[in-house]
Amino acid sequence: MSKIDNDVLLIIFDELKNDNGTLFTCALVNRQWCKMAIPILWKDPIKNQQFNEQLLDIIKYSLPYESKKLLLSHGIDITSNLQLRKKPLFDYIKYCKYLRFNKINEYANLMTKSIKETDYFLIKREIFKFYISKCSSIKFLDLNFTERYYQLSHDDLMKYQLLKFPGAINCFSELMELHCDSNIDSSIFYGFAEICKFIQKIYIYQLYDNPGLIELIKVQKNLKKFKYTASKFIKYKINEFTGIGKALEKNSETLLHFKALDDLYGNCFIPGVFSKFKNLEKLILFRLCYCFQQYEFEEQLSFTSFPKLKVIHIQDASIYTVKKIIEKTDGNLIKIAIYDIEYKKDYDNKPFQDLIQSIYKNCPNLKFLRLEIKDEILEDFEKLLITCNQLEGLVIESCRWKMYNNYNIKNLLLLLAKSSPINLFKFKFYYYWDFDQISLNLFFENWRGRKPLKFYMVGTDKFLSIFENYKNEGIIERYEDIEDIYFKCFEW
């Protein structure tokens, strides 16, 4: 067997980084392949939910003698049930690039039968000290906790003083992604702000204006993605995240993705902050109806231009706001997902028509669309299908004001079979469409000769024989019964 250059192997194995099974098989081929595959396999050995007993044994075996001696002096023998009897072939821990506080927390609790909190703390401290001394450049850090360990873990973070362990600067200075909870003591964030200047992704849970977190965001030089959920601990206060908003303004040139998720507690960013994000490519805003300043917030959004925007997911916004955002995107939108659009029950069809017109007049490159459809606007919807000829996937909702009077799907299916662009073959139908055998058969017959369908709807079990028949004939590639999953609406 001829030898493959290491650089080539590295490129190949990096493509397989999410396929541990194949990578493990490659590691068994020969010594060269093993040396190249192991560092990739061990970048994130605890990313999966299932318990990794091998990792637990390696941590126990590899802990420095000083740590084991310290633990023994407190009556903690972590090697008593050690399965690993020989020295590992590799210094595996040094390859880790992902550090997940909650996972380490769980593994530490499995190392002893003691019920003393002080014992858990000592074990966790020694594991973190070990990781920080071994890992030269952690890329991903997750400081979130499960509810079970929530308060204890927050207290532990203060006690550990991770950034004071030997090697901390070397370990965290190249951090690229941070997941955290803003209820962590601000001194910890201030510490990371001194070391970490090039974080590209920050995901925050339980967001509020933590001064240390504000400083950490402010000092970043290449922040590209920011995602947050609101804090349930301030649900009785009006919190505009003024400090966080101002810190993000400092990153307005580099910020490409902004996601505000599950804001059930009436919090929002100061309305003016979005006018600074001229380079945004992805904007996701959920539950605007819970925002204390929804009117001011939507008004600012309607005035703001996002010329580079490619993806928008928005929930509970008015038709007018959504329309205005779309009109100021310079034709770059490729994904639009509109959820629970706000309108009055007695609205006429004009707002819907205006929205559809804004899409087909301003989105020539559109590939995926989620939209609420009424029978009365199918003529305008047909213009959208004809004009947006790059469409690949449609997620179609029935009008929710008639959710208790199911829509007949016949006219929509006839239109889709007649006017869908050649690239369009992925469909999802949400909520209260009234499918029937005749309409489905007619649609699938009219689809003959086109790219096989991916057809998802609620209630496929009622029409299994139809779906199986057309799947066997090659007209359907895949069908599935679905539930509404917001973040996966464009996954087929």
DSSP annotation of 276? G
Average pLDDT, integer, range 469-481: 96
Tokens in use for 492?
A: 């087929």
The structural domains of the chain, with segments of one domain joined by +, span 1-41, 305-492
d(CA 33, CA 43): 16
pLDDT, tens only, 165-194: 889 999 999 999 999 988 888 999 999 999
Average pLDDT, integer, range 305-317: 93
**Counts for the chain of helices (H) and strands (E), in that order:** 19, 16
171 vs 107, higher pLDDT = 171
pLDDT band at 441 (very low <50, low <70, confident <90, very high): very high
pLDDT, tens only, 242-296: 889 899 999 999 999 999 876 555 556 666 788 889 999 999 988 776 666 777 7
d(CA 174, CA 176): 6
Cα diameter, the chain: 79
Q: What angle do CA 48, 24, 61 make, to 5 degrees?
A: 70
3-class secondary-structure state, position 228: strand
State residue 185's pLDDT score: 87
Which residues have C-beta within 8 Å of that of residue 166, sequence separation ≥ 6?
129, 132, 133
305-492: CATH architecture:
Alpha-Beta Horseshoe (3.80)
- The percent of residues above 70 in pLDDT, for the chain, comes to 86
d(CA 15, CA 174): 22
**Lowest-pLDDT range of 28-32, 88-92, 295-299:** 295-299
pLDDT, tens only, 197-214: 999 999 998 888 899 999
Contact 302, 326 (CB under 8 A): no
Which residues have C-beta within 8 Å of that of residue 374, sequence separation ≥ 6?
349, 352, 399
**Lowest-pLDDT range of 246-250, 408-412, 465-469:** 408-412
Q: What is the pTM of this model?
A: 0.87
